[in-house]
Structure 1
Amino acid sequence: MKDEKGGGRLIARQRLYLSRRVTSDYALLCAVLGIIVMIIENELSAAGIHSKSSMTSLTLKGIILISTAVLLGLVIKFHVHEVQLFMNANSAEDWRIALTCHRCFNILLELTICGICPLPFNLSFPWTTVHSDGITVSTTEVPLDVFLSIPMLFRLYWFGRVMLLHSRLFTDASSRSIAGLNRGDVVPNTYCGRGVAVITGILGTCTSSMVVAVIARKLELSRAEKHVHNFMIDVILIIVF
């Protein structure tokens, strides 16, 4: 099981695990950096220190945009490692086998979540508010950055992923080996197969119980044997005393 570079599949898998863990660490760093800069920019704008169209605000938004672009690249790199690990574990030669509909949907969802960020230019839309009297109407210009900043908090899902990849389940070789062996279990997928499996399990439990009951019955003493046993115990007690 040697690859072209002379290393085994286990060595290649170990390198992929390490690369995936490092990629997730950098992705979390970029995600947190973008969120922190976003909070600083919004707080400075809310305090009136600078406006949304000032050079400081545009610079901070530019930093957020750069961190977002790097984060999107790391998301793609992370899933490339996922595909490579799948190919390594299943001895697959074509990477398109790993690109299932579920995996593609997850990749697009992560790219969408991580790609939302404030734009480096000022955009606003009118917001109409009707007061409690039902007559007075006021219209204000609301920056689009307000609605693009809140979804950035969803990037914190990388924190849970990093904690999982740094846990013993992924860092310990024995745990990964046990997990790899558990992938060999055969389970039914259809409702008919599941029903047959449940019925078979119930019948197996009943059969085992009957066998235990029969063996226990055979091990029990008959009525005559009990009388003889009790008589011998009484004789022993009389001799002793």
Structure 2
Amino acid sequence: MEKNLLTAIDFVASLPMSQQNNIKKHDDQETFAAMKDQLIQRKKLHYRCRHVTDSMCLIAVFGLVLMIIDTEMRLNEIETIIIVIIRPLIGVSTAILVGLVFYYHSLNMRLYAINNHIADWRVTITISTIAIILFEALVCAIHPFPYKNKGLSIFTLFNKSAWIQMFLTLPMFARLYLVARSVTLHSPLVNAASSRTIGYLNRVPITISFILRALLQTYPAGSWTCVMVITLLIATWALRACEAAMWLPKISVSPQPNDSTSTFSSAVWLTIVTFTTVGYGDVTPRTYCGQGVSTITAFFGVFASAVLIAVFTNKIALNRSEQSVLDFVNQINRARAYREKTVRIIQYSFRAWFLKRNGHRYRATFNSLYRLHSALEDSREIKQEQRNAVNGTESLLTMLNDVHDEQRNNDKSLTKLKNHIVHLEEKINGLENKLDVIVNMLSKNSPST
């Protein structure tokens, strides 16, 4: 092997310079052609992933709409031919959706292989990848079984499959994660080549988490409002369906639906009260299903309130210029107030001294002394505020001075190091000259041969 390699190297070295340049140019052209093919293939795979995700999102929303229509018709005991074909349509859409899930992940693995210069995309298949694909397929596969059942109220209260229908209906809202994926793939951060290049250079992967956090950072009010409104609508409908259908009732001896929460308006009120963690107690869920929905709504409400407070705090925060203007105005106002209090202290002191010296009545002297002490207390508070403001400014100035001193010390150290290097170079040059002199002397003194 080494002999063949050396032979090839000797052969290339023996070629003329023009032929070597032609070979190098040909290799560069092949490299650029391979890179171009990879970029074209990557672009095609990205567009295909985006189209597949859009199709999955539309099919998931279509299945959710059919599920809501089917549930409402069964709650209201509407018997038409439509109710017979809705659940088979849900099953067909679910089968297509599960197939698209596997197809999307195969495209995504090929795209990952191209981005990381992997020859065979099957190398990217790991246990965690398989687990994620199977979990996503399971989430998209959950749907109510297609069979004919007349109503979901008291007719199905004692039906053994009522709780199964509940567990197969409400989890279909988990398919809405496909909306977030579609928004991610349509984001300019993913489609723009400049943002992807900057992300690769800085080793920042453009993932769904990064896109959603960037969207929340850029449009905090609008994006979080949409999330909360959608969550409230889903929780309201789920609570109303649980209470109206009496799925998993707490009191099995009472087969009647909960009239207080079976209406949409009452469910909206209970959801809002639970979401804001107020809990008046005038309306309560009577079913285990309703209690579960209320618990999830309460947990999400606490999280949403914390995020909303953070967003609101960020919105009302002043920038550096505005904060400087506000501090300057407050400083002027405090200085003016301190001067006014100082003038009043002088006035009340002179008045109290005058009244006490001339023997006026005690009440007038006491009022003057009271006003004097009040002015003194106010002046002390204003002076303390001024000191606190000055301390804050001094801390910033101290930090800047420390940075400046550190930079100046670094400059001095660098100058000393440069001087040492110059000194060493001079010594080395001197030694070199001395060695040259010694060599010349030895060459002259050596006997000629």
Indicate whether 1:91 and 2:286 are aligned. no
Question: What's the CA shift for 1:168?
Answer: 0.7
Indicate whether 1:146 and 2:171 are aligned. no
Structure 1, 39-48 or 74-83: larger mean CA deviation: 74-83
Question: What's the CA shift for 1:182?
Answer: 3.0
1:1-80 residue pairs with structure 2 within 5 A? 1=31, 2=33, 8-50=37-79, 55-80=81-106
In the aligned structure 1, how far is the partner of 2:45 from the partner of 2:70? 37
Letter in 1 for 2:192: D
Match of 1:212?
Answer: 407
Indicate whether 1:169 and 2:189 are aligned. yes
In the aligned structure 2, how far is the partner of 1:31 from the partner of 1:181? 36
Q: Deviations over 1:143-179 (max 9, x none)?
A: 3322211010000001111111101111111111222
Give 3-state SS (helix, strand or coil) of 2:158's partner: strand
Question: What's the CA shift for 1:116?
Answer: 0.3
In the aligned structure 2, how far is the partner of 1:84 from the partner of 1:183? 20
Which protein, 1 or 2, shows the higher relative CO under an 8 Å CA cutoff with sep ≥ 6?
1
Question: What's the CA shift for 1:211?
Answer: 6.6
Q: Aligned pair count?
A: 178
Residues 1:216 and 1:9: Cα distance change in structure 2 (over 3 Å):
closer
Structure 1, 97-106 or 72-81: larger mean CA deviation: 97-106
Match of 1:191?
Answer: none
Letter in 2 for 1:28: C
Question: What's the CA shift for 1:181?
Answer: 2.5
CA RMSD of aligned residues (A): 3.0
Indicate whether 1:157 and 2:177 are aligned. yes
Letter in 1 for 2:135: L
1:169-188 residue pairs with structure 2 within 5 A? 169-183=189-203
Question: What's the CA shift for 1:121?
Answer: 2.1
**TM-score normalized with structure 1 length:** 0.66
Question: What's the CA shift for 1:217?
Answer: 6.2
Residues 1:184 and 1:169: Cα distance change in structure 2 (over 3 Å):
closer
In the TM superposition, structure 1's runs of 4+ consecutive aligned residues that sit over 4 Å from their partners are 208-211
Q: Deviations over 1:23-55 (max 9, x none)?
A: 1000000000000000000000100112xxx75
Q: Deviations over 1:93-119 (max 9, x none)?
A: 222221122222211110010000111
In the aligned structure 2, how far is the partner of 1:84 from the partner of 1:216? 52
Match of 1:121?
Answer: 147
Structure 2 residues not aligned, in runs of 5+: 1-30, 150-156, 206-402, 414-449
Match of 2:17?
Answer: none
Larger radius of gyration: 2
Q: Which has the higher helix share?
A: 2
Question: What's the CA shift for 1:215?
Answer: 3.6
Give 3-state SS (helix, strand or coil) of 1:118's partner: coil
Give 3-state SS (helix, strand or coil) of 2:109's partner: helix
In the aligned structure 1, how far is the partner of 2:138 from the partner of 2:166? 18
In the aligned structure 1, how far is the partner of 2:410 from the partner of 2:58? 65
Identity %: 32
In the aligned structure 2, how far is the partner of 1:13 from the partner of 1:157? 24
**TM-score normalized with structure 2 length:** 0.36
Question: What's the CA shift for 1:8?
Answer: 1.1
Q: Which has the higher strand share?
A: 1
Letter in 2 for 1:99: I
In the aligned structure 1, how far is the partner of 2:37 from the partner of 2:411? 54
